[in-house]
Amino acid sequence: MLRIRNLFASIDGKPILRGLNLNVHAGEVHAIMGPNGSGKSTFAQVLVGRDIYEVVADELTFDGRNLIDMPPEIRAREGIFLAFQYPIEIPGVSNLYFLKSAVNAVRSHRGLPELDAVDFMSLARQQAAELGIDDAMLKRSLNEGFSGGEKKRNEILQMKLLEPRLAILDETDSGLDIDALKVVAEGINAMRSPQRGIIVVTHYQRLLNYVVPDHVHVLAGGRMVRSGGKELALELEQRGYSWLENEQKAVVTP
């Protein structure tokens, strides 16, 4: 569903992604790992159309449609979702109101009738309860004053309600204690489906104990330097990233 060939991205003339390749098929869970500064977050942001990056690629398509010129909100409505590493606060806008606007924007794009307040409320409540999100949190301003864990759980709630076809989770495990991590992981696992692709971007292997990936890729220096199965994540956990980076340097400068 997602095909990426030779993707380059730069910001203010500074190259970050340099020739990245990746294919994601429906039903697969891909983990993107890598050291700090390797371009993981840039990659996530580029996929959803953040326009501060200059992007060129031989191919960047979602279900055969070119993403490069597609505005971010259309990508979202087409079913690409990003759980942000740092979810944004919007004061005065209730979480519930925002969720309803988002769900209805996506529904109307898909030709589905918009949900009214009552239907939406019962849907949201039920999904929220599974993530340990109570009514009070639904009524608070979006992400304002939320703890790190609350913000991340709220991202997962949005993902569940929006039912994307491709979900990208950017460092969703960061800042979570072990209980919150389990709740979030359960939320992600519940989203696994033959119709859906999931990309988990993470620095640590920890989350992958709970969300077991089909494929693991290591991003370093703006490109994928190693791909493998779930065992690659364990190897990285033991050996760190430096051996791969050294290997990479050895390839570039023999």
Partner 1 sequence: MSKDPRTSEILAQEYPYGFITEIDEDSVPAGLSEETIRLISAKKNEPEWMLEWRLRAYRHWVTMKEPTWANVHYEPIDYQTIRYYSAPKGRNNDPKNLSEIDPEILRTYEKLGIPLEEQTWLAGVAVDAVFDSVSVATTFRRKLEELGIYFCSFSEAVQKYPDLVRKYLGSVVPYTDNFFATLNSAVFTDGSFAYVPKGVRCPLELSTYFRINARDTGQFERTLIIADEGSYVSYLEGCTAPTRDNNQLHAAVVELIALDNAEIRYSTVQNWYPGDKQGRGGIYNFVTKRGKCLGVNSKISWTQVETGSAITWKYPSCILMGDNSSGKFYSVAVANNYQQADTGTKMIHIGKNTKSTIISKGISAGHGQNSYRGMVKVLRGAANARNYSQCDSLLIGDKCGAHTFPYLEVKNSTAKVEHEASTSKIGEDQIFYCQQRGLSVEDAVSTIVNGFCKQVLQELPMEFAVEARKLLGVSLEGSVG
The pattern of x and - marking residues 33 through 72 that bind partner 1 according to CB under 8 A reads ---------------xxxxx------------------xx
Site for partner 1, residues 147 to 186, rule: CB under 8 A: 158, 162
Q: What contacts 24+ positions apart, CB below 8 Å, involve 221-224?
A: 221/18, 221/38, 221/39, 221/245, 221/248, 222/15, 222/16, 222/17, 222/18, 222/19, 222/20, 222/38, 222/39, 223/17, 223/18, 223/19, 223/20, 223/21, 224/20, 224/21, 224/22
Q: Does 76 bind partner 1 (CB under 8 A)?
A: yes
- 161/177 Cα distance (integer angstroms): 24
Residue 7 C-beta: closest distance to partner 1, Å: 19
Sole binder of partner 1 in the list 6, 21, 61, 141 (CB under 8 A): 141
Smaller CB distance to partner 1: residue 168 or 216?
Answer: 168
Interacting span for partner 1 (CB under 8 A) from 34-42, 88-96, 120-128, 187-195: 88-96
Q: Which of 76, 142, 67, 80 is nearest to 108 (CA)?
A: 76
Q: Does 129 bind partner 1 (CB under 8 A)?
A: no
List of residues contacting partner 1 (CB under 8 A): 48-52, 71-73, 76-77, 81-82, 84, 87-88, 90-93, 98, 101-102, 105-106, 109, 141-142, 158, 162
